[in-house]
Amino acid sequence: MADFQAVGSFENLSLERRGCVFMITMKLGAENRLTAKFCQELIRAFNTVRQTLGTNSEGAVITRGNNAKFFCTGLDLDEAEQNPHATTEGFYPLLHTILDFPFPTIALLTGHTFGGGCPVAFAHDYRVMNSKRGFISMPPVDLGMYFPGVGVLPRLKLRPQIARKVLLEGHRFTGEEALRDGLVDFIAQPDDMLAVAFELAAKWAPKAKAG
């Protein structure tokens, strides 16, 4: 696969492109905990893609973690405790940005996807998961925590029985379980994940072009 070329300048992520396919790599430590500032930076990356491609263009975006252990472990709970507006300043606007994005989006789940990382993944059109390592889980129910609205996307994207398994039971899904139950669309070996995600992005990129 040809190299991706860097686009723009960011602090806690990189934005690269190969043709009309862009890739956002989250780099806020290993776990990519979602602070308001980090969510705003992710929004800026998506907006950069949108502005670069313009209207009536082919294109797609892959969002991934920066290592084989984590994709995203959810909200920064310390910030959420100190700043009651953290989610409305960053997390919810990020979900809106991805859901309303005019180009196909692929979440490349390189590793563990926990808590608020799950709605971020579900906001994408497609999900590709590491077949060898990592779980998908929403554990707030086991921690006595509640964030308004986080259950909406699982309920919209998954069968009722599976959404219940995610939200009420806090089940930890392996790659095979996630594929079987419809949480992800593909699983792949760690060395093959990017190629699978890129092939998917390239396949559906033309759908963004009107007419």
Q: Beta strand 126-130 with 5-6: parallel, antiparallel or unpaired?
A: unpaired
Range of the domain at 177: 5-206
Specify burial of residue 92 (Cβ count, 10 A radius: 0-12, 13-18, 19+): middle
In a domain, 35, yes or no: yes
In a domain, 185, yes or no: yes
Q: What is the dihedral of CA 31, 140, 38, 133, to 10 degrees?
A: 30
C-alpha 58/C-alpha 56 separation (Å) is 7
Check whether 211 has a pLDDT greater than 50: no
User: Residue 165 is part of a domain; what is its CATH number?
Assistant: 3.90.226.10
In a domain, 161, yes or no: yes
In a domain, 19, yes or no: yes
- At 74-127, the pLDDT tens digits run 999 888 888 888 888 999 999 999 999 999 999 999 999 999 999 999 999 999
Q: How many separate domains does the chain show?
A: 1
**pTM across the whole model:** 0.93
